[in-house]
Amino acid sequence: MAKAEVIKIILQNIVGPKPKATLEPVEELKQTLSKYFSLPTLPVNSGRSAIYLILKAAGIGEGDEVLIQAYTCNSVPNPIIWTGAKPIYADINLDTLNVDVDDLKRKISSKTRAIILQHTLGRPGPIEEVMEIAKQMGLLLIEDCAHCFGAGYKGQKLGTFGDASILSFARGKVVSSISGGAVIVKNKKLLGKIELLVDALPPTPKSHLFKDFLNFFTWRGILRRVYFNPFAYQLIQALDKQNFFNPLYSSKELKGLKPSWHPAKLHPIFVKVALSELPKLEKQNSRRGEIAEKYYQKIKNRKFRLLPKHKGIYLRVVSFYEDPDKFFKKARRHKLWFGNWYNAPVFPKETYLKEMGYTLGSCPQAEAAASQTINLPNYPDMTDEQIDFAVDFINKYDEL
Ligand SMILES: Cc1ncc(COP(=O)(O)O)c(C=O)c1O
């Protein structure tokens, strides 16, 4: 989203005359999303809050287990832990970075109550197989659509298969309102309970909002320029380490603890940012697809293995490379910055695996993928020259 648009929205809401609206903004967002998915869709302040609320509504807690895949971020196991339940990790398929169905089956126990199916980085997960397992075993199926807003499978939108699904509008996601998320509810038995929980949510604390805005103006506003300016990147990294911005994953969450601002209502300003971003969804997803296609056509260096193509959306384009840390260092020297989602079985690397209930060695494929993951830049507003710059770097990598 353009910085100017966000400034306008903030000014309109804080200091300027309020634009006349026929609907409360959050009601408008709710209606827009519900129409898009043809299912009731309730905005909340984050994807992790959305997971938490679904689990709570389903009565999942102490003594229960919830199956998730490794090669994920701590925002998935955390809301499970916050309910008192235990996350159980299944390994992944190395060609898709999605869950390995056989391992998922092996991990089912008498305590399993739900499966969270992650559509990793925009690639549809094995939805038919997992739906069948959930049906046979009487498990709740939650689709994690944090990465795949706008993608479909066999003509049906992802997010409309499971009993309930979650969206994330955090920074770096398909649609970003700086912070935000939503619950999509298909299972009618859950709807009333989730509505009650969402209605009772407190507002997001103001101090938190301020830091979120700071974040936007640095990460979203400067990030693209930073690609070609390693000094600015270093400065932002240093400020981030000092907790100057709201980190995506707070220090509490690295240890499985629940911060006070999750769950909460989505702030009206973020609602408006989301509303102004939504109309761009399809155009931006198709541009991401075009960028991915260019990488597939142009990258010739065999040391970089791109995953097989897919029919979802390309939130990130992943390449495997044997030594990502060396690669990132060299890239920065050449004024390029590549992403690292997910360079740990439970991202980010600083996450305490023990507190996440993850045992090292338990999901070898996920660990292998994490140790080789590089994200190629694919922001929708990247220019073709910038794409070529990244491609050239990879193709000439060994000579540089
Ligand atoms: C796979 C996945 N699920 C859920 C979430 C949670 O989203 P949020 O950051 O909005 O809480 C994330 C966040 O990065 C994610 O990557």
The CATH number of whichever domain residue 86 belongs to comes to 3.40.640.10
Nearest ligand 1 atom to alpha carbon 341: 16
Residues 174 and 25 in one domain: yes
Q: End of a domain among 199, 227, 255?
A: 199
- Residue 73 falls inside a structural domain: yes
How far apart are the C-alpha atoms of 375 and 266, rounded to whole Å? Answer: 29
- Residue 57 falls inside a structural domain: yes
Cα(17) to ligand 1 centroid in Å equals 34
Tell me, using a 6 A CB cutoff, whether residue 174 lines ligand 1.
no
Q: End of a domain among 181, 199, 217?
A: 199
CATH code for position 389: 3.90.1150.10
How far apart are the C-alpha atoms of 62 and 47, rounded to whole Å? Answer: 22
Contact in structure between 253 and 78 (CB atoms under 8 Å): yes
Would you please indicate which residues are annotated as catalytic (active-site) residues? 173
Nearest CA to ligand 1 atom 16: 73
Residues 171 and 68 in one domain: yes
Burial code of 151-163, b = ≥16 C-beta within 10 A, e = fewer?
Answer: bebeeebbbbbbb
* Residue 327 DSSP SS3: helix
How far apart are the C-alpha atoms of 340 and 375, rounded to whole Å? Answer: 6
- Residue 261 falls inside a structural domain: no
Mutate to test the pocket of ligand 1, among 44, 46, 48 (most ligand atoms within 8 A of CB): 48
* Residue 334 DSSP SS3: coil
Contact in structure between 227 and 337 (CB atoms under 8 Å): yes
- Residue 266 falls inside a structural domain: no
Token pair 């700086």 in the structure block, residue? 178
Determine the distance from the C-alpha atom of residue 87 to the mean position of all C-alpha atoms in its chain, rounded to a whole number.
18
Contact in structure between 150 and 282 (CB atoms under 8 Å): yes
Per-residue pLDDT reduced to its tens digit, 244-276: 666 677 888 999 999 888 999 998 888 998 999
Contact in structure between 159 and 165 (CB atoms under 8 Å): yes
Tell me, using a 6 A CB cutoff, whether residue 125 lines ligand 1.
no
Torsion sign across C-alpha atoms 225, 231, 234, 235? negative
Contact in structure between 336 and 389 (CB atoms under 8 Å): yes
Q: Which domain holds residue 382?
A: 280-399
Tell me, using a 6 A CB cutoff, whether residue 75 lines ligand 1.
yes
Mutate to test the pocket of ligand 1, among 97, 168, 183, 342 (most ligand atoms within 8 A of CB): 168
Residues 186 and 307 in one domain: no
What does residue 142 show for φ and ψ, rounded to 5 degrees?
-115, 125
Residues 49 and 185 in one domain: yes
Tell me, using a 6 A CB cutoff, whether residue 140 lines ligand 1.
no
List, in order, residues 6 or more apart from 257 with CB less than 8 Å away.
none
How far apart are the C-alpha atoms of 179 and 213, rounded to whole Å? Answer: 9
pLDDT of residue 260: 86
pLDDT of residue 204: 83
- Residue 207 falls inside a structural domain: no
Nearest ligand 1 atom to alpha carbon 179: 10
Determine the distance from the C-alpha atom of residue 306 to the mean position of all C-alpha atoms in its chain, rounded to a whole number.
20
- Residue 228 falls inside a structural domain: no
Residues 170 and 315 in one domain: no
DSSP state of 350: T
Cα(302) to ligand 1 centroid in Å equals 32
| Number of folded domains that form the chain | 2
Nearest CA to ligand 1 atom 6: 47
Tell me, using a 6 A CB cutoff, whether residue 122 lines ligand 1.
no
pLDDT of residue 153: 97
Cα(76) to ligand 1 centroid in Å equals 7
Mean pLDDT by 10 residues, the chain (400 residues): 64 56 81 98 97 98 98 98 98 98 98 98 98 98 98 98 96 86 98 97 81 65 54 66 67 90 90 92 96 97 96 96 95 86 95 97 98 94 92 94
How far apart are the C-alpha atoms of 394 and 179, rounded to whole Å? Answer: 33
Residues 301 and 192 in one domain: no
* Residue 169 DSSP SS3: coil
How far apart are the C-alpha atoms of 155 and 176, rounded to whole Å? Answer: 24
Q: End of a domain among 154, 183, 199?
A: 199
How far apart are the C-alpha atoms of 137 and 122, rounded to whole Å? Answer: 27
What are the structure tokens assigned to 236, written together? 């932002």
DSSP state of 186: -
- Residue 82 falls inside a structural domain: yes
